[in-house]
Each structure stands twice: as C-alpha cells, then as structure tokens.
Amino acid sequence: MDVHEYQAKELLSQFGVVVPKGAVAFSPDQAVYAATELGGSFWAVKAQVHAGARGKAGGIKLCKTYHEVRDAAADLLGKNLVTNQTGPEGKPVQRVYVELAEPFEQEFYLGFVLDRKAERIRVIASKEGGMEIEEIADENPDAIIQVIVEPAVGLQSFQAREIAFDLGLNIKQVQRATQLIMNAYRAFRDCDAMMLEINPLVVTKDDRVVALDAKMSFDDNALFRRSNVADMHDPSQEDPREAKAQEHNLNYIGLDGEIGCIVNGAGLAMATMDMIKHAGGNPANFLDVGGGASPERIATALKLVLSDENVKAILVNIFAGINRCDWVAKGVVQACETVDIKVPLVVRLAGTNVEEGQKILADSGLDLITADTLAEAAQKAVEACGASPELEAASA
C-alpha cells in the first residue's frame, strides 16, 4: 500500500525525522488558510498523488503570494496529473500539500528498500539528489552508496555515519544526518514498510538536514497490526476495479488485453494468462477468487471482469481440490443467472467431481463454451473473441 507525501512525512516526524512545516488542503481556500497559518513568504504547493516525478509534470508549484497559492491549488485540484509513473490516464488530484519552501544548499538521495534477494534491508544513498534512482544507476552507478542491514542487530550508528561521510557532509552535518538516517530506519522497520524514499534529502544554510520529500510503501500483509497506516489508504489512487476487488477479498490486477480471467489460485492464474498469450490472445486481468469459489464470489468476479469495456470473452478456469467441481459449477450457473453476460464465456473445470460439474454445466441451458484442458480453454477463448491471428488473417 502506498501513502501520500504528507502522510509519509507525518509518520517520519513521529520518529524524529526533520521535515518542513506543511498542511494538507482540499480546496483553494484551505490552501490559502494553510499558508497563512504556516507563515513565511515562500511556499510550495504539491499535488498529492501516488506517483513520483511530480515536479517535471507540473505537480509542484512555488508561490510567493497568497494569490499564487490559491491559483496553484485551483490549477491542481480536480485534475488528473500525468507523470512518467502514472501512465497516460494519470492520477486524480484530490488534495494538495502546502509546505514552507526554505532555501537549501545541497540535496541528496536517501532510500530504504526490502531487498528480497538478499533477504535484508538495503540502504541506498547518493550525492545526486532530486534525480530518480534509476537514472542515477544508469548514468553514474559509482555515485550510489549502499549498505546492507543485518537483521539481528539492525542498522548501526557507524553505518549511518559512514553514509553521511560518503555524502561529503561536514562534521556538524554528519551528526544530524546520522540521527536522521537512524530515525528513518526505525520508521521503516517499525511501520512494516517495504520502501522509503527521501528525495531530495537537503542540507540548509544553517546545517540542518531535512527530508524535503518522502515516499513510502507498506506491506499489505502487515496492515492488520498497523491500523494507523491502514487508515491512510486512499482508494481514489487505485484502479476502481482493484479497489472493488479488495472489498470482497479478491486479488485483481487490471491489464490491457481482451480476455477476462477468473481463476482460483495465483499459480493457476499465471499459467492461464501464459496459455492465453501462447494461443495468440491477451489477458485482460489477473483475478484469483481464492479457495472458495462460491456463487457470490463468482458473481462478483464476473461483474469486475465485465466492468472492463475491452473484455471480449471470459475464461473461467477452476481446479477443485478442497472444493468440488459440482459445487463450483452450481456457483457458475447461479452467477450467470444474476449477471448479464454479453460476451462468450468459456468454462474449464478440473479436479474433484469433475464429471458431475460438467454435467451441471451441460444441463444448465446456458450458452457456455466448455473445455477439458487449459490449452483447449485458452484456444477457445481466443477464438471466441476473435483474437486468434489465424481468424484475423482469414477475415482479412
């Protein structure tokens, strides 16, 4: 789960990480009020979306007057911000963050990431702040400073000091940077984060070390014990279908193909998508209905898949282990009676009581396309939606 910049800074500040003063606003008037409350004479108005590269996309505006603050907020709120991380559709801006914009002398990159290969937390830093870490890795890989954290002891102060010295800071700055790095690590660890990025980390004229921007992502599986983080969830930043799927405990990821998939089990879902590609089609989604393929879950899954206008056919692929194929077949039939399906529906069942399940489908009177194997089901789904290269060539 991702959070907004102002939420990440709120969490970081609770662990002692120094961040600029700021306030969130949902309207231009609130933005002006926030600026007056913050004081000063120079502010940054930042669009709050779950994406980076906002500055290049016009999502961060520097303002010197209250009128400029109002105009900046009015220009951002209610719009879709398109960056190189959002795709062409962009992300909706429903709130802005008004922050005191104080001058700084140096900017750096600081990040914490859960390295699955090393099974450790990896701390990454660079003197080249303000740039995407991917750009730094491509253009100047030697500029990247990396430290692996031993989980038995955690990040040590000497490691944080080494990072600070490698960044070229002076003695006073090193002391403050060391404390910030240690506090940021504790925030990462204690909040069950998977990624924390402070870009840029800046040094001001009076040698303060400040997290000017912050981005955090968290482990969904740990949210049950991090209610303060779970409450920061913003559904507006997600695909509406994925948000709807979460409400019903369905695992759904939207893709750009034309064959909708309803499968039980993540591994089988991946195999189903592979077979669709092998047959010449493109999957429209990844959807794992889990172990209980009840009529209600199948109906919900069908509605989710059909909400994608690009779907031209649906492939239901269920392997019944603990479940039974006859029970799953009844669920499919009942779901079809409650959902208006206007595209071809291919159903493949395998496992316990498969003969009974196939008989239920055959006797249902529904216009279903059945298959015995996954390869056959994928081929029939491709042919049903006209995505087969052979059919396209013949029709041409």
CB 253 within 8 A of CB 242: yes
Place of tokens 């740990």: 222
Task: Name the residue among 28, 170, 15 with its Cα closest to residue 98.
Answer: 28
Task: Name the residue among 214, 298, 228 with its Cα closest to residue 263.
Answer: 298
Cα gap 11→229, rounded to integer Å = 9
What residues pair up with 206 in beta bridges, in sequence order? none
Is 80 annotated in a binding site? The answer is no
What is the 3 state secondary structure string of 292-337?
Answer: CCCHHHHHHHHHHHHCCCCCCEEEEEEEECCCCHHHHHHHHHHHHH
Is 102 annotated in a binding site? The answer is yes
Is 213 annotated in a binding site? The answer is yes
Given the residues 5, 6, 97, 197, the one annotated as active site: 197
Is 119 annotated in a binding site? The answer is no
CB 106 within 8 A of CB 134: no
- Give backbone dihedrals phi and psi of 323, rounded to 5 degrees, phi first: -70, 170
Is 310 annotated in a binding site? The answer is no
Is 107 annotated in a binding site? The answer is yes
Among this protein's residues, is 247 annotated catalytic? no
Q: Please report the beta strands in the chain, taking only residues with DSSP state E, as ranges in sequence order.
A: 22-25, 43-47, 60-63, 80-81, 91-92, 96-100, 106-115, 120-126, 144-149, 193-203, 209-211, 215-218, 251-254, 259-263, 285-288, 313-320, 345-351, 368-371
Among this protein's residues, is 109 annotated catalytic? yes
Given the residues 109, 185, 252, 383, the one annotated as active site: 109
The pair of three-digit structure tokens given for residue 276, joined into one six-digit string: 């669709």
Which amino acids are annotated catalytic?
109, 197
Binding site residues, as ranges?
46, 99, 102, 107, 199, 213, 264
Binding site residues for ATP, as ranges?
46, 99, 102, 107
